[in-house]
Amino acid sequence: MKKTFPLTSPRHEPPRVVAAIKNEVRKYLRRERKKALPKDADYWAFECKVGLGSAEPETKRVGELIAAIDQAAVQNCEGVYIEILATPGHRAANADKDALAPDEAEDV
Residues 27, 29, 33, CA angle at the centre, nearest 5°? Answer: 120
Which of 28, 2, 14, 27 has the alpha carbon at shortest distance from 70? 14
Q: What is the pTM of this model?
A: 0.81
* Sign of the C-alpha dihedral computed for residues 30, 36, 38 and 43 taken in this order: positive
pLDDT, position 108: 46
pLDDT, position 36: 96
**pLDDT under 50 in the chain at which residues?**
105, 107-108
pLDDT, position 93: 78
The percentage of the chain sitting over the pLDDT mark of 70, rounded to a whole number, equals 87
Distance CA 88, CA 42 (A): 7
pLDDT, position 77: 93
Distance CA 47, CA 108 (A): 34
Instruction: Name 73's bridge partners.
Output: none
CB 46 within 8 A of CB 38: no
